[in-house]
Structure 1
Amino acid sequence: MSYQVLAVQLKVLADANRLEIIDLLSCGELCACDILAHFDFSQPTLSHHMKALVESEMVTVRKDGNKRMYKLNAEQLEAISMNLNQVHRGSEQCICKTMKGGTC
């Protein structure tokens, strides 16, 4: 696990609108227009949020005619969850025990 990568992923997740988009997509694939109908912001704002989610690989996108269809990448979200769980691991796996001369 890279702390730097996890920090970037958590920064993407730290936005309430993005968390809500992830929640919407947990029900299944949606087009941008369906996602936008749920919010009170503009299409460029939605594009900004979707770009961040796609670039972080939490969401995948495909074109269907002139529509963009978005789908949750459950594997990526599970990996983020597992990495976050490693950060608060129990004392047997504590990072200080792997450090030179470190004890907890």
Structure 2
Amino acid sequence: MARAATTTDAFNAVAEPRRRQILDLLAQGERPVNDLVEMLGLAQPQVSKHLRVLREVDLVHVRDEGRQRLYRLNASPLRDIHDWLAKYQQMWAERYDAMDAVLADLKEEEDHGD
């Protein structure tokens, strides 16, 4: 089965760790590409390639200011990922609650066993 192109949706785009790093940096505020290059320690063409993918799935918006291109996060497409993960968040919360109950029982047994 062929893998979906990274430019088809936010799920595929954020599958790449460097793109997630870029999103994390842009979540802190708008930045020019040179700042991203410096912060990531990557070559400018690599960062630009990742930004292109993020723009194509609308996770990043760009605006020109003089000679600079400033990039900012558009978190709206992440909503689909959030909604999908919400189902699993509930499942994990229930599992952690069950584990907490088991640990509390074990602690109580240990305390009464002394």
Judge same fold: TM > 0.5, yes or no.
yes
| Pair 1:24-2:25 in alignment | yes
What displacement does 1:26 show? 0.7
Q: Which residue of 1 aligns with 2:46?
A: 45
Identity across matched positions, percent? 31
User: What SS does structure 2 have at the residue aligned with 1:60?
Assistant: strand
Q: Quick one: distance in 1 between partners of 2:80 and 2:65? A: 28
Q: Quick one: distance in 1 between partners of 2:87 and 2:54? A: 22
Structure 2, unaligned runs of 5 or more: 91-114
Alignment of 1:58-73 (within 5 A): 58-73=59-74
1:54-104 CA deviation, whole Å, 9 max, x = no partner?
A: 11001111111111100110222224322x24776x8xxxxxxxxxxxxxx
2:26 partner letter? L
Q: Quick one: distance in 2 between partners of 1:46 and 1:67? A: 15
- TM-score normalised by length of structure 1: 0.69
- TM-score normalised by length of structure 2: 0.64
What root-mean-square deviation, in Å, do the aligned CA atoms of Structure 1 and Structure 2 show? Answer: 2.3
1:22-72 CA deviation, whole Å, 9 max, x = no partner?
A: 000111111111111112221111110000001100111111111110011
Structure 1, unaligned runs of 5 or more: 91-104
Runs of 4+ displaced beyond 4 Å: none
